């Protein structure tokens, strides 16, 4: 089976500073893959290269079977993109934004109208179709961006920080929309700052730091590799984390300590592994 996304030895340099450094990654069709990393790790730059918005300095990118540099037009036909910045036109109505996008992709009528109605209903914006976008909430604008990205029926959806700045309730609603699309078979690559977002939406996760992929796998694979149990020890106003292969091993270690003051055990999670690998919390 042809991979949905193939990144081979990709570099991106800005002003002699490497932003993406020898990145290689494969995402299979139907997979939902999450890219985690601190600010400046290269997540958004990777998305921009894959979606033809930024040229790589070196390396090879293939999306939906097309070479990103040599077949950019073909790539754009196969992808939907939801960027972190709100990119819908505030002076147009919800319907006009969708209509403009449909015409740019040369979707003929009446198919275009059917798809506009279909996706506005899917993201629960049918009742706002005639409203100016500037009157919508941040969550509604993000839902419109998703609907617009799906209008030409792409094979792969790229989401760059899709729920940043949204309240928890709105974020959860967007998660349900995104998860539903993946369950229908759509391939997804998303970047995020939210650990729980990756755990809820993604089959696999890759951790980027300083432009390099330092770890990739499913959460169970990462927990098995780094340790499924933790002993936490309070040291002043900070906590020290010690990984163990299993929670049982962590509990046994704790039981052997003569002084258990300020100590506790629990199962490890993705954030623990991220901090262990990068030395930093997500901002």
What does the pLDDT look like over 192-236, one tens digit per residue? 888 899 999 999 999 999 899 999 999 999 999 999 999 999 988
Confidence band, pLDDT 50/70/90 cuts, at residue 278: confident
SS in 3 state form for the chain?
Answer: CCCCEEEEEEEEEECCEEEEEEEEEEECCCCEEEEECCCCCCHHHHHHHHCCCCCCCEEEEEECCEECCCCHHHHHHHEEEECCCCCCCCCCEHHHHHHHHHHHCCCCCCHHHHHHHHHHHHCCCHHHCCCEHHHCCHHHHHHHHHHHHHCCCCCEEEEECCCCCCCHHHHHHHHHHHHHHHHCCCEEEEEECCHHHHHHHCCEEEEEECCEEEEEECHHHHHHHHCCEEEEEEECCEEEEEEECCHHHHHHHHHCCCCCCCEEEEECCHHHHHHHHHCCCCC
Residue 45: the pLDDT is 93
**Fold of domain 29-52+68-221:** Rossmann fold (3.40.50)
- State the average pLDDT over residues 144-159: 94
Average pLDDT over residues 23-38: 94
Residue 272 pLDDT exceeds 80: yes
Write down the pTM of the prediction: 0.89
Band of pLDDT at residue 1, cut at 50, 70 and 90? low
**Taking the domains of the chain in order of start, what are their residue ranges?**
29-52+68-221, 229-267
Mean pLDDT score of the chain, rounded to an integer? 92
pLDDT at 280: 59
pLDDT for 282 equals 45
pLDDT tens per residue across span 101-129 = 999 999 999 999 999 999 999 999 999 99
Over residues 52-56, mean pLDDT: 94
Percent of the chain with pLDDT over 90: 78
At 156 the pLDDT is 96
Report the pLDDT value the prediction gives residue 25, as an integer from 0 to 100. 95
Q: Is the pLDDT of residue 237 over 90?
A: no
């Amino acid at each position: 089976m042809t991979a949905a996304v193939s990144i081979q030895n990709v570099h991106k340099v800005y002003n002699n500073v490497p932003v993406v450094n020898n990145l290689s990654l494969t995402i299979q069709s139907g997979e939902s893959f999450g890219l985690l990393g601190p600010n400046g790790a290269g997540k958004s730059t990777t998305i921009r290269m894959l979606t033809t918005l930024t040229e790589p300095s070196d390396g090879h990118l293939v999306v939906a079977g097309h070479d990103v540099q040599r077949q950019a037009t073909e790539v754009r036909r196969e992808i939907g993109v939801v960027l972190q910045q709100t990119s819908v036109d505030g002076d147009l109505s919800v319907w006009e934004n969708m209509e403009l996008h449909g015409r740019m992709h040369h979707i003929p009528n009446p198919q275009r109208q059917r798809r506009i109605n279909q996706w506005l209903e899917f993201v629960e914006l049918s009742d706002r179709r005639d409203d100016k976008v500037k009157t919508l909430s941040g969550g509604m604008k993000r839902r419109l961006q998703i609907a617009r990205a799906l209008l030409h029926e792409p094979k792969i959806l790229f989401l760059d920080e899709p729920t940043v700045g949204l309240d928890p309730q709105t974020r959860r609603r967007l998660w349900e929309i995104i998860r539903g699309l993946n369950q229908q078979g759509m391939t997804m690559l998303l970047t995020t700052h939210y650990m729980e977002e990756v755990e809820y939406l993604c089959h696999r996760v890759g951790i980027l730091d300083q432009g390099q992929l330092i770890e990739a796998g499913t959460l169970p694979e990462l927990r098995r590799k780094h340790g499924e149990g933790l002993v936490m020890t309070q040291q002043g106003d900070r906590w020290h984390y010690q990984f163990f292969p299993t929670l049982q091993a962590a509990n046994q270690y704790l039981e052997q300590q003569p002084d258990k003051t300020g100590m506790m055990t629990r199962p490890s999670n993705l954030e623990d592994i991220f901090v262990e690998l990068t030395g930093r919390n997500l901002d």
